[in-house]
Amino acid sequence: MASARFHSVLAVIVASFLWGTTGTVAHFSPDISPLAIGAFAMGGGGVLLCILARKELDKNLPLMRKMPIVLIGGGLCVALYPLAFYTAMRWSGVAIGTVVSIASAPLFSAILERLFCKKNVSARWCVSFVIGASGVVLLSMGKSADGYLPIDVSLQRLGIMLGLVAGLTYAAYSLLVKHMINKGVSSTSSMAGIFGIAATLLLPSLFFTGENLFRTPENTLVVLYMAFVPMFLGYLLFGFGLKSVEVSSATLITLIEPLVATLLAVWIVGEVFTFKGWLGMLLVCVCIVIQSVNFRTAVRSEY
């Protein structure tokens, strides 16, 4: 049990590292619409997950048919997430959009678990959430390079609202995947089923937004990396992690994503961060350490 829990936490951490690379990778193809990148990455990742899990999907199909609302609801949430997330960054600015989306997900996860699973939120989780969310905010404020800020204030507010939608949909589909796993569906089949539905909704949008996806070798490498590595492999690992990790804790651990994104932006893209940004990184690390101690305590209590 201890080994399973350790590997589950490790899987979520690795998935967060992979997701943290997406912003830097997308930087090398500025002529691709962010909506197209999101649709191809999530949709392509969903197709790959379905191909990988085709045998398990056949085996788990009877169970999955008993929960059509969960399956369809999860697919809709996965489809909405990239559209809301990338549009939030476009309308409210990259920093604000990312902060609202990522920092709100653990809070929404805890609320949903409380409402639908009747699970209490521990004081340790609350402390780690405040520290982690504060770190993400400081990360966004500590960027010295000029960023895009919309002139239209109402559009900026809509962007913030979409960031909240992104955080909510991320938390919701994570909880729905966890529910399917708890009902006996394998983690691979759960992810494949939900992402497969999302793929059928997202991929057709590329007819309107994806004209530059394969225009150059760089663009081709970028979109293929996004689909195969952070989306396919990342969500495969995330689904595995949800077998032994609660959704509220898993989404809290993924606060490591903006930390990785920031470090890559400094090392590869050449962005500069102030003291606030580096302080934010430290707080995110503290948040992760608190969660690690939480898991270690939980493991010890099982013996």
Mention every residue, 6+ apart, whose C-beta is less than 8 A from residue 100: 88, 92, 160, 163, 164, 166, 167
Residue by residue, pLDDT tens for the chain (303 residues) are: 556 777 888 898 999 899 888 877 877 888 888 789 889 999 999 999 999 889 999 999 999 999 999 999 999 999 999 888 878 877 776 666 777 787 788 888 888 888 887 777 778 778 878 887 888 778 767 766 444 444 466 777 788 889 889 989 999 999 999 899 989 999 889 999 999 999 999 999 999 888 889 989 999 999 999 999 998 999 889 888 888 887 877 877 887 877 787 778 778 877 677 888 788 878 877 876 776 665 444 444 443
Mention every residue, 6+ apart, whose C-beta is less than 8 A from residue 24: 261, 264, 265, 268, 269
CA proximity to 258, closest of 271, 248, 243: 271
Domain edges within the chain: 2-301
Tokens of 97: 């959009």
Residue reference for tokens 């992979």: 18
CA proximity to 188, closest of 43, 50, 65: 50
Global pTM exceeds 0.85: no
Confidence at residue 302, expressed as pLDDT on a 0 to 100 scale: 40
Q: Which residues pair with 273 in a beta bridge?
A: 143
